[in-house]
Chains A and B, each alone.
Chain A
Amino acid sequence: MEYTILILLLPLLSFLAIGLLGTKLKPCTAGLVGTITLGAVTVLSYFTAFKYFTAPKVDGAWEAFPAYDVTWLNLGEKLHIDLGILLDPISVMMLVVISTVSLMVHIYSMGYMKGERGFQRYYSFLSLFSFSMLGLVLATNIFQMYIFWELVGVSSYLLIGFYYTKPSAVLASKKAFIVTRFADFFFLVGILVLSYFTQTFNFTELMSGDGSIFSSAIGASFMGASALVWAMALIFIGGAGKSAMFPLHIWLPDAMEGPTPVSALIHAATMVVAGVYLVARLFPIYLGYTPEVLAGIGYVGAFTAMFSAIIAITQTDIKRVLAFSTISQIGFMMVALGVSTSMHLNHGDHGGLGYMASMFHLFTHAMFKALLFLCAGSVIHAVHSNYMQDMGGLRKYMPITHITFLIACLAIAGIPPFSGFVSKDEILTAAYGFSTGMGVWMTITAGLTAFYMFRLYYSIFWGKEYKVTNGHTPHESGRWMTFALIFLAAITVVGGFIPFGKFVTADCVPYDIKLDWTIAAISVAVAVVAILLARKLYKKENEKPTELATKISGAYKLSYNKFYIDEVYMFITKKIIFNGISRPFAWFDRHIIDGAINGSASLTAWTSEKIKSFQSGSLQWYAWVFLAGVLLITILAIFV
């Protein structure tokens, strides 16, 4: 399957072509080039998936194999960095997800970004992002993954800061870059520790089930934990940064400053699940050797899920609601991975269910969250505002957006038969299997999810009547955009019926998804109650939400201000790090290091200023010095 390299090369070429030709191209041409390239990539991805999942299994399991592999850097006898393409169930699944969502976003952007300045730049960045994200999921080794990991960080930075004339966008891109880069630093350290002890970067070797390569890492201990635990925990911090887990989630809401299709692609469907993908990729190590780290991942995920769901309830910027919803849903995925206690998913053993559920939820979530964002983009396009206050009653004006948004909301709320129901139900089953507390916690979070999503839905499409101002009537978006919406909505509707367990499980052995009807009933009941509550509060314009907010104003304010996490960060960075560390460093840099350099420079200048007269060309002065020297030597020779 050598042709898979094209999946990487095509977006790269498109990036180079659009990026280099830039404004020489007509915007329309640039968009078409990018879209057609992505279309080709999508076709190739589907073809790859088809070929992969129709190939014969080995011992009843899907086989993981590198479709393409070249040694890039030889670091030592054993250690080398390769570049290649690894095909296994999760990478193929990610391939499908990324190419689908990316293609939809490309198509959608043709309408959404029409007439924007920098249309070509936008498409070249989209291509760059697609290239790096595909490279990330297809990486054969952890170092290649890290390279593409940084590349997606860069493209995310570029796209968040797309409206670079807007200071808030610039700040947001900076924030996203710094926070994720901060986390990536831990990731890199983790990679280095891991590879130092195991002498390999290669996923295949790390996953081979041969425990001997970890023996030295387990043997070495640092501050009460083995080196392997440290490495895996550090790698997870990298993943937490990209996936916006608490407390590194602060960049994601701000990242909504970017164009909405970008938010859909990068900050909902693909890049932010890279952390989940990372944990899933290294799942055998987490499970087999560092179960404590895996459990920690689960708890972080659970906390983040609830935490951001609470924040999402009170936000008024619709994109921010979706951003917090994304964080919450990624928390779900993390929880699902964290509660996995086994690689195997045989009938009667639900230990490995979480892994499958997590990947399934990743898949369905990518679709419906992208759909939600694209709908939000459509709404924003129509009313030119991000805020709920400016919306309401839009269902009459934009029926397609309304219906697709509703489908996505039902899916994320977990209402059967939409895709979110199935995947979320699997997660809850896995959570209950882990512990009842975790199950209840996640069920409540699911209820909150349903509530804030329908609050969003009712506030946008129902609630107060839309006031037509300045003769501007909201209207349905163009064909490009509605096509993408309908396509994604279709996937959201049927996604739940994909026999996902047949394709992606922790041990690659196919499995038939069976719904646990008790848990399904509970979660659906919770969701329905939450939806009804939201309907009561927000369907018609009334005073109840305000009253409620004043009644619990403390909690409301806490949630509205996102639990003041940003302020805490500002305090830590501005007051403690800037004053305590950076200022001394800056002082040291300016005075000692620069001082030494400048000092040597000015010393040289001073010296040359002083000795310049020695080389004046003045013969008399030369003779003077000559005579003085002769006399000095004579005096020394005679008297000393």
Chain B
Amino acid sequence: MAEQIIFYILALVIAVFSIMAVTSKKVIRSATYLLFVLLATAGLFLMLNYYYLFAVQVTVYAGGVMILFIMAIFLTHKPGDEFKTKMNWKVKSSAILSVLGLLLSGYIVVANVTRIINYVSGKEMKMQELGVTMMGTEKYQFLLPFEAMSVLLLACIIGAIMIARKEKNNVESNNDLDK
């Protein structure tokens, strides 16, 4: 019962802060609300007994990614910048469309989920098992995606550096402009 209460609290947090994250006027607040959502999701992972996933979510997402966000916001925004969303046609139609999508998906889920309720109590996953699965080459083992992921990460690092790096010419021209 306590678990259920916690679950509903987390669910409420996710629902409310998701919506606040996309409607807030201030960027930094949006990012903070996103952080709350991510942390609550990590809590849900925990409830599903995915400890490793919980750890990754907290460290990578709520930690690393959020730091990136906040750094970016600090770099590109002045404190107190507000982003008013005008209630124009675009916003209204987007809201209607999203709600419609939500209702439709919810309908599909509700209509189908009764058939497949089949909870098997999760036991704690052992790290060895996890490591073997990740590095194994058997069926249901994930060495190849893991390696692909590492290549992707490398590409991302190089790409990010390349993009963010200032080019010499640009520096000079910018300086010229500054003068």
Residues of A within 8 A of B (CB): 620, 624, 627-628, 630-631, 634-635, 638
Contact = CB atoms under 8 A, between A and B. Distances in A.
A627 B101 contact: yes
Contacts of B173: none
Contacts of A634: 104, 108
17 contacts: A620-B90, A624-B90, A624-B93, A624-B94, A627-B97, A627-B101, A628-B97, A630-B101, A631-B97, A631-B100, A631-B101, A631-B104, A634-B104, A634-B108, A635-B104, A638-B107, A638-B108
Interface string B106-122: 01100000000000000
Interface in B81-102: 90, 93-94, 97, 100-101
Contacts of B90: 620, 624
B108 A624 contact: no
A187 B104 CA distance: 78
Nearest to B98: A627
Nearest to B101: A631
Contacts of A620: 90
Nearest to B107: A638
Contacts of A631: 97, 100-101, 104
Contacts of A630: 101
A-B residue pairs, 8 tightest by C-beta: A631-B101, A628-B97, A627-B97, A634-B104, A631-B100, A631-B104, A624-B94, A627-B101
A638 B103 CA distance: 13
A624 B104 contact: no
A620 B93 CA distance: 12
A631 B105 CA distance: 9
Nearest to B105: A634
A150 to B, nearest CB: 65
A431 B173 CA distance: 103
Contacts of B108: 634, 638
A223 to B, nearest CB: 70
Interface string B42-68: 000000000000000000000000000
A170 to B, nearest CB: 61
Nearest to A630: B101
Nearest to B103: A631
A624 B101 CA distance: 11
Contacts of B100: 631
Given A624-B97, A638-B107, 16 more contacts: A620-B90, A624-B90, A624-B93, A624-B94, A627-B97, A627-B101, A628-B97, A630-B101, A631-B97, A631-B100, A631-B101, A631-B104, A634-B104, A634-B108, A638-B104, A638-B108
A630 B104 CA distance: 11
Nearest to A625: B97
B93 to A, nearest CB: 7
A628 B107 CA distance: 17
Contacts of B107: 638
Contacts of B97: 624, 627-628, 631
A634 B94 CA distance: 18
A484 to B, nearest CB: 83
A615 to B, nearest CB: 17
Contacts of B94: 624
A620 B101 CA distance: 16
A624 B94 CA distance: 7
A638 B108 CA distance: 9
A634 B100 CA distance: 11
A634 B104 CA distance: 8
Nearest to B108: A638
Contacts of A627: 97, 101
A628 B94 CA distance: 9
Interface string B22-38: 00000000000000000
A275 to B, nearest CB: 76
A627 B105 CA distance: 12
A237 B152 CA distance: 90
Contacts of B104: 631, 634-635, 638
Interface in B103-158: 104, 107-108
Contacts of B101: 627, 630-631
Nearest to A623: B94
Contacts of B93: 624
A624 B91 CA distance: 11
B139 to A, nearest CB: 33
B83 to A, nearest CB: 14
Nearest to B111: A638
A638 to B, nearest CB: 7
A543 to B, nearest CB: 95
